[in-house]
């Protein structure tokens, strides 16, 4: 008789245990932490490449600006020299 009273308790515990086990299995199989970390690392690498490309472009533009300023200065001096001597 005593065991008949424990049957509902045992079945409830068994169901809860089964549900928890199933939930734990899903968490383990659908854990995408590594995948997310790999994606973040990939994005960081892409960002570093983009930053380097941007730095190179800025350096090139800086050189072009310096060259154009120098050419403008030389042309200005040539024009002034022509105005003075003619």
**When comparing pLDDT for 6 and 61, which is higher?**
61
Question: Looking at the predicted structure, is the pLDDT value of residue 1 above 90?
Answer: no
Question: Looking at the predicted structure, is the pLDDT value of residue 41 above 80?
Answer: yes
Say whether both 54 and 15 belong to one domain: no
Q: What is the spatial distance between Cα 29 and Cα 12, in angstroms, rounded to a whole number?
A: 26
Say whether both 49 and 62 belong to one domain: yes
- Reduce the DSSP state of residue 4 to 3 states and report it: helix
Say whether both 43 and 85 belong to one domain: yes
* Domain interval for residue 39: 32-86
Say whether both 84 and 60 belong to one domain: yes
Q: What digits encode the pLDDT tens for the residues 14-33?
A: 888 888 887 777 766 666 78
Say whether both 4 and 15 belong to one domain: yes
Query: In this predicted structure, what is the pLDDT of residue 68?
Result: 97
Angle among Cα 72, 75, 81 to the nearest 5 degrees reads 140
Global pTM?
A: 0.54
| Interval 44-65 mean pLDDT | 97
């Amino acid at each position: 008789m005593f065991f008949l009273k424990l049957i509902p308790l045992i079945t409830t515990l068994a169901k809860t245990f089964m549900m928890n086990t199933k939930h734990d299995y899903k968490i383990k199989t659908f854990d995408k932490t590594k995948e997310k970390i790999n994606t973040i690392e990939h994005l960081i690498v892409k960002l570093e490449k983009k930053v380097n490309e941007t730095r190179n472009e800025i350096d090139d533009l800086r050189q072009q600006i310096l060259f154009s300023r120098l050419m403008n200065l030389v042309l200005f001096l040539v024009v002034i020299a022509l105005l003075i001597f003619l």
